[in-house]
Chain A
Amino acid sequence: MMDFVQTTFASFISLIPVTLAQSLILSFVVLGIMIPFRMLSFPDLTSEGAFPLGGCVCGVLLAGGASPVTAISCALLAGFVAGCCTAFIHLRFRIHTLLAGILMMTMLYSINLRIMGKSNLSVFGSPTVFDWVPFAQPGFPVSKIVAAGLLALVVFIVLNLFFKTEQGTAVRAVGANPDMAEAQGINVWAATIGGVGLAGAFSALSGAVMVQSQGFADVNMGLGILINGLAALMIGEAIVGKQTVWRQLTAPFVGAVVYYQLVSLCLAAGMPPPDLKLATGLFVLAMLALPSLRRSRGAGAPARETFRE
């Protein structure tokens, strides 16, 4: 028994830096899930397609000799367009947000295949953004942690400032009460399309940086990213809360870091990787079901959240 704990612990510790690097890169998907879900009341599945989209665009451009920054910028743009499309489908045709997201991610699978021309593409040896981190050997977790961490910090600060501006407050109002927002002169279409587009851009950014980190792009790299992201978001919100803009924006980053360490711990303890999705799904279910369980016990839980249909 002691032996088992020791080996588990040892392998978990040795994996911490790698997992931290990975989780910082994936924290942008969690952000891309949180923004529509919490800020716009627009539960969205686009990220499952936008993440590999960013990866494929980045992969093809890197293989074609483009600079890492160009590749990431193009991925951002592609993700933004994908997000905009989902929001437009919902607004124009009054299709449920989730269905609009499913349509988009299904179509994106074919588009991703078209972009790459094959199901996976190695970009090993191409220059990456991690090469520019000083005093760290490229390819090692430290450079990835520094690069992804810096990027996360910048995005966090910019978003935090944005949501406190006049425009940012208006975007949040669209999520809180679209009818009221419209009556206050806010263009609900523009705010929704822009917001979901931004979220798609973050998901694609994550995919692009991931490709540079792992050295290959794969059309299936988005499989299950959504449920992982949701689980991370739930953990983050459980830890830091979501009552203020600052807390709500911190949750994806804290959640991503904690969640992937937990996954790493489970794997180190000998959990078979195929069971991971079941475990994650059950965890998300439990987190989502908690408020309704609490309410049925009669505690003064807040009213169920409302989402756009």
Chain B
Amino acid sequence: MLEIRSARKTFYRGQADEKIALDGLNLKLATGEFGVVIGSNGAGKSSMLNAISGSLGLDSGQILVNGSDVSNMPVHKRAVRLARVFQDPMKGTAASMTVAENMLLADLRSTRRTLRRGLTAARLATYRERLSILGLGLENRMDTRVELLSGGQRQSLSLIMAVGGSPDLLLLDEHTAALDPRTADIVMDATVRAVDALKLTTLMVTHNMQHAVDFGHRVIMLDAGRVRLEIAGEEKAKVTVPDLIGHFSVKTDRMLLAS
């Protein structure tokens, strides 16, 4: 499970362009829960994911994964427990390395890397099987360098790499935003199947309201660095796209009145 306790982060503190990214953010995600994060640009969605993964240090506050405080751990140590799929398909894979080598790197995420041979026959067979679930034929292109794959194929590979070791926490950072609608559906479909099958604790950031309506157990709306709204249970099952967009406009009106 994931818990964020009053996380605060200010960029350019004390300067004219001071920007509060996280303003005492609190969030709890139970084990096996699938949370969908929405919010306008600059609401703090990316800052929150970066704070969880460790690439952004907090000014104050704590982040707990499975009950233990990871706030002061570097990115590579946190990676033992959490996996992440980036928005940019280029970011989540090593372009000049082969599909098989990328799978190996992800496979070793939570273990100690040894001086034994990396790509053994047994591992290759496992990786082929995992990739075949996608139905993209990647299992027959194990020795292809990833830079030769399309964006959708790369993102699908990133997803399989991320869910491979059943991480304690899966972070999806607008992972279908850079894809064409059809490929986005394929990747989203694969995501939901993997999350359901492995009962992964998942936090997905998205700008796609339809995805927010269709998937996940809870919608979390961020605004100005804190949680503005949470919709779960019955209410989540009944929520529609216009409802969600309505919440955005309420917020905008309030901003207009405040200014």
| Chain B residue at minimal CB-CB distance from A187 | B76
Indicate if the CB atoms of B108 and A166 lie closer than 8 Å.
yes
**Contact stretch, chosen from B36-44, B113-121, B191-199, B240-248:** B113-121
Which residues of B have CB within 8 Å of A302?
Answer: 147
Other-chain contact of A176, B83, B94, B113, B117 (Cβ < 8 Å): B94
B29 proximal to A (CB < 8 A)? no
Q: How far is the CB of B80 from chain A (nearest CB, A)?
A: 5
Residues on A facing B (Cβ under 8 Å): 162, 164-170, 172-173, 176-177, 179-188, 243, 302
Considering the chains assembled together, what is the distance between the CA atoms of A302 and B145 in angstroms?
13
Q: How far is the CB of A77 from chain B (nearest CB, A)?
A: 21
Indicate if the CB atoms of B94 and A177 lie closer than 8 Å.
yes
Q: How far is the CB of B141 from chain A (nearest CB, A)?
A: 15
Considering the chains assembled together, what is the distance between the CA atoms of A165 and B118 in angstroms?
5
Indicate if the CB atoms of A169 and B115 lie closer than 8 Å.
no
**Contact stretch, chosen from B18-26, B95-103, B226-234:** B95-103
Q: How far is the CB of B98 from chain A (nearest CB, A)?
A: 9
Considering the chains assembled together, what is the distance between the CA atoms of A176 and B94 in angstroms?
5
Indicate if the CB atoms of B75 and A169 lie closer than 8 Å.
no
Considering the chains assembled together, what is the distance between the CA atoms of A304 and B88 in angstroms?
19
Indicate if the CB atoms of A172 and B97 lie closer than 8 Å.
yes
Indicate if the CB atoms of A185 and B117 lie closer than 8 Å.
no
Other-chain contact of B118, A164, A181, A183 (Cβ < 8 Å): A164
Considering the chains assembled together, what is the distance between the CA atoms of A172 and B101 in angstroms?
10
B153 proximal to A (CB < 8 A)? no
B93 proximal to A (CB < 8 A)? yes
Evaluate whether A169 and B76 lie within 8 angstroms (CB atoms) in the complex, with A164-B117, A164-B118, A181-B94 already known. no
26 contacts between A and B (CB under 8 A): A164-B119, A165-B113, A165-B114, A165-B115, A166-B108, A166-B114, A166-B116, A166-B117, A168-B118, A169-B97, A169-B118, A169-B119, A170-B113, A172-B101, A173-B97, A176-B97, A177-B91, A177-B93, A180-B91, A180-B94, A183-B84, A184-B79, A185-B110, A186-B105, A186-B113, A302-B147
Considering the chains assembled together, what is the distance between the CA atoms of A172 and B118 in angstroms?
12
Beyond A166-B115, A173-B97, A184-B161, list 14 extra A-B contacts (CB 8 Å). Answer: A164-B119, A165-B115, A165-B116, A166-B113, A167-B114, A169-B104, A169-B108, A169-B119, A173-B101, A177-B93, A180-B94, A184-B106, A185-B108, A186-B105
Which residues of B have CB within 8 Å of A172?
Answer: 94, 97, 101
Q: How far is the CB of B96 from chain A (nearest CB, A)?
A: 5
Q: How far is the CB of B85 from chain A (nearest CB, A)?
A: 10
Which residues of A have CB within 8 Å of B202?
Answer: none
Indicate if the CB atoms of A167 and B115 lie closer than 8 Å.
yes
Considering the chains assembled together, what is the distance between the CA atoms of A183 and B117 in angstroms?
22
Q: How far is the CB of A300 from chain B (nearest CB, A)?
A: 12
Interface size class of B (residues with CB under 8 A): 20 to 34
Other-chain contact of B91, A162, A169, A179, A186 (Cβ < 8 Å): A179
**Considering residues B75, B92, B95, B114, which has the most beta carbons from chain A within 10 angstroms of its beta carbon?**
B75
B109 proximal to A (CB < 8 A)? yes
Indicate if the CB atoms of A184 and B97 lie closer than 8 Å.
no
Considering the chains assembled together, what is the distance between the CA atoms of A183 and B80 in angstroms?
9
| Chain B residue at minimal CB-CB distance from A182 | B75
Which residues of A have CB within 8 Å of B108?
Answer: 166, 169-170, 184-185
Q: How far is the CB of A158 from chain B (nearest CB, A)?
A: 11
Which residues of A have CB within 8 Å of B101?
Answer: 169, 172-173
B156 proximal to A (CB < 8 A)? no
Evaluate whether A186 and B76 lie within 8 angstroms (CB atoms) in the complex, with A169-B105, A181-B105 already known. yes
Evaluate whether A176 and B76 lie within 8 angstroms (CB atoms) in the complex, with A165-B117, A186-B105 already known. no
Mark each residue of chain B from 178 to 220: 1 if its CB lies under 8 Å from any CB of chain A, else 0.
Answer: 0000000000000000000000000000000000000000000
Indicate if the CB atoms of A167 and B93 lie closer than 8 Å.
no
Considering the chains assembled together, what is the distance between the CA atoms of A187 and B110 in angstroms?
12
Other-chain contact of A162, B92, B110, B115 (Cβ < 8 Å): B115
Other-chain contact of A183, B79, B113, B116, B147 (Cβ < 8 Å): B79
Considering the chains assembled together, what is the distance between the CA atoms of A168 and B113 in angstroms?
9
Considering the chains assembled together, what is the distance between the CA atoms of A287 and B16 in angstroms?
48
| Chain A residue at minimal CB-CB distance from B85 | A183
B62 proximal to A (CB < 8 A)? no
Which residues of A have CB within 8 Å of B109?
Answer: 184-185
Other-chain contact of A170, B84, B105, B119, B161 (Cβ < 8 Å): B105
